[in-house]
Structure 1
C-alpha cells in the first residue's frame, strides 16, 4: 500500500457524486490563538494498493518530542481494483497542550510505523489572507 496524498484540514465532506470537499486545508503549521486547545484532526489520504485483497492499516498522530500520542485510527481496506486509488477520510478530536511538532505515521498489516508527514503546532495569531480574485 502506498500513500500518494495526505492532507490535514478542518472538515471533509463527500458530494452526492462521491467527490470529496476539503475545507480549511493546512500547509505545514497549525496556529492556535491559545493553548491548550481542542482540535478536530481531519485527514484525507489517497491510497494505492499494490495487491488485491484485504489489508489492515493504522494511522497515528503523536508529538514525539513530548512522547504524547494524540490519536490512532485503525481499520481494514479491501482492494478490488489496482487501477483505482482509494480515497480515505477520517478524523479524531484531540487536545493540543503545547507548541511542538506532530508526526503523522502509518503502518500496514502490523508492519513498522512509517513517518508520512510532520506538522508544526504553534501559538499565535491566525492570519487572515486577502481573497484571490475570482
Structure 2
C-alpha cells in the first residue's frame, strides 16, 4: 500500500444532512478544554485517509490518552470497505470515544490499514483551566 496518511478532526458529533453532506458538530480547533478535574466526555473523530489504493480494506482506529510517559488505551473502532478510486480520500467517523482525564495530556488517534504498520493519524492537547474563587 505504501504511503497512507491521515488527518483527524476532533468534534462532539458527525451527522449526515438530507443531501448526504456531513455536518461536524462542536469542532475542537486547538485543544479540548476542561474547567473541572477530573473531567469526562465522549468525543467523535472524523478521519480522512489519503493514499489507500482501490480494493477491499480494513481500517482500525485506536484512541490513547498520553500523560507524560503513561498511555491509557481508550478503545478501537474497525471498518471494512471497498475503495473504488484510490485517487480520492476516504473519510470515516468514530463516535463515542470515552475520555476520562484529571490532568493535562494528549489525545492520540492511531490508524492501521490492513496489515500495514500502525501510524499516528492525529492528536489534540487536553488542557485544564483553573477558576479563581470569584469565578463560577
Query: How does the TM-score come out when normalised to structure 2?
Result: 0.78
Looking at structure 2, the residues matched to 107 and 32 of structure 1 have their Cα atoms a distance apart, in angstroms, of: 30
Give structure 2 stretches of 5+ with no counterpart. Answer: 131-136
Is contact 2:8–2:47 with CA below 8 Å preserved after alignment?
yes
Aligned length: 125
Distance 1:111 1:82, change over 3 A: closer
Q: Deviations over 1:88-114 (max 9, x none)?
A: 211124132222112211111132221
Measured against aligned partners, the alpha-carbon deviations of 1:70-102 in whole angstroms (never above 9, x if no partner) come to 121112121122344332211124132222112
**8 Å CA contact retained: 1:62, 1:104:** yes
Q: CA RMSD in A?
A: 2.0
- Structure 2 counterpart of 1:60, from 56, 59, 62: 62
For residues 20 and 77 of structure 1, the distance between their equivalents in structure 2, rounded to whole angstroms, comes to 18
- What pairs up with 1:1-134 in 2 under 5 angstroms? 2-64=4-66, 65-98=69-102, 99-124=104-129
Unaligned 5+ runs, structure 1: 126-134
